[in-house]
Amino acid sequence: MEQKTITLNNGVEMPLLGYGVYQVSPDEAERCVADALSVGYRMIDTAQIYQNEAGVGSAVKKSGLSRDEVFIVDKIWISNFEGDAPKHSLDESLRLLGTDYIDLMLIHQPFGDRYNAYRALEDALKEGKVRAIGVSNFYPDHLIDLCHFSDIVPAVNQVETHVLTQRIEERRYMDELGVKLMSWGPLAEASSELLNNEILLTIGAAHGKTVAQVAMRYLLQRGIIIIPKSTRKERMEQNFQLFDFSLTESEMQEILKLDTGHSFVMPSHHDPEVTKMFMGFAPRKGK
């Protein structure tokens, strides 16, 4: 099936549909990524904190595909935001992935010394170690603030997005800045509230598609990049069958009504308890 792409603000072409390896164990990562590539996925999303970069890199290398055929997304974790740590951790990610460059590198959280980490990504972009840079889990105020103090506008913001949490207002600010929205958790972590939704069931029946396929097709039609995850090849194949049907405008409007207007999987990053949790990963100044 033909791959659909989206053009980032620096001209780089990125697949709209990829495969995510969040919570895929290091032992299973190589097999899962190999399966995903055999199905047809050409974007793989990993992160330093997932501890499966080596498996991702090994699968890509053994796939028989040329490096430029696979779009790799990675993320610097908050424990690597201080001083020279972003640069060193990026070099380590390149080593683990077995590649000379990463297609899109993100800073994973809007906490800690995110300005220092982002400046390191700007340098890496200029050095050719990455092709595009961005952020993850940034709310509009985080994003506006970072852009004000940066030379390069992030190409992507990866944040929880699905039919129950559609980021309508946040998307307005991203569009103003030229930042593409990338969804993690496009199925709300297989939430029963999403998978048993009557509106999605009805629309799915009309198209001969599953609820999951309808929910993800909705995001794609809104120009949102998605990275569904499954360790089962048959589910990977189902998640890949999203470009052989389209939702009507009336169906899109029905799904729009499902938006709750708030995070569903992850509590708000403005919640002080969430901040306290992430501070457990960030090294304290002078310690």
Catalytic residues: 50
User: What angle (nearest 5°) sits at the alpha carbon of residue 41, between those of residues 186 and 96?
Assistant: 95
Amino acid identity of residue 267, one-letter, is P
Cα–Cα distance list, 254 to 188, 205, 224, 249 (Å): 18, 15, 18, 9
Q: How far apart are CA 226 and CA 43, in angstroms?
A: 10
Closest-CA residue to 253 (of 158, 180, 166, 157): 166
User: What's the number of CA atoms in the CB half-sphere (13 Å) around residue 254?
Assistant: 15
Q: How far apart are CA 53 and CA 94, in angstroms?
A: 9
Contacts of 159 (CB under 8 A, 6+ apart): 136, 137, 138, 139, 167, 170, 181, 182, 183, 184
Strand partners, 162: 165
Q: Positive or negative, the Cα torsion across 270, 275, 281, 285?
A: positive
> Pairing mode, if any, of strands 225-226 and 130-136?
unpaired
Token pair, residue 45, equals 């999303």
Amino acid identity of residue 183, one-letter, is S
3-state secondary structure of 17: strand
Closest-CA residue to 158 (of 133, 136, 141): 136
